[in-house]
Structure 1
Amino acid sequence: MATTNPLQFIQQTRGEIAKIVWPTRRETMLTTAMVFVLASLTAVFFFFVDWFIRSGLQLVLTYFG
């Protein structure tokens, strides 16, 4: 296993950090908006699935209960 001295390690780390491409403000805002929209759609979907199952179960329990 090759050993690297601390100075060389820091230089390599700085070089790798310089390669990072950060998203623009617009990209961040669009991504955030998409997360909120998709989370809202998912919440509405599961609300109706839950409502459907609950209504069906109440119907079955009322009929057989």
Structure 2
Amino acid sequence: MPRTNPGQFVRQVRQEIGKVSWPSRKETGISTVMVFIMVFLASMFFLLVDFLMGEGVKLIFGLGG
């Protein structure tokens, strides 16, 4: 693989960055909101599962109550 000089490397990097399709501000906002919603739903799911498993262990072993 032939070596490139630093100037050519920088030009190639700038050329490749120009090919990237960046999301719009609206798309970024929608994606951010969706991530927060999914995190909330996942945390509620695991909270419920943890609670049910804890209650099941208490019921089986008679602990904590």
Supply the RMSD in Å over aligned alpha carbons. 1.5
Equivalent pairs, count: 63
Greater RCO (CA < 8 Å, at least 6 residues apart): 2
Structure 1: state its 5+ residue gaps: none
Any runs of at least 4 consecutive aligned residues in structure 1 with deviations exceeding 6 A, and if so which?
Answer: none
In structure 1, what is the Cα distance between the partners aligned to 2:37 and 2:28?
A: 14
Residue of structure 1 equivalent to 2:21: 21
Q: Any unmatched runs of 5+ in structure 2?
A: none
C-alpha deviation, 1:26, in angstroms: 0.8
> What is the percent sequence identity of the aligned residues?
43
TM-score, with length taken from structure 2:
0.85
CA distance in 1, matches of 2:41, 2:57: 24
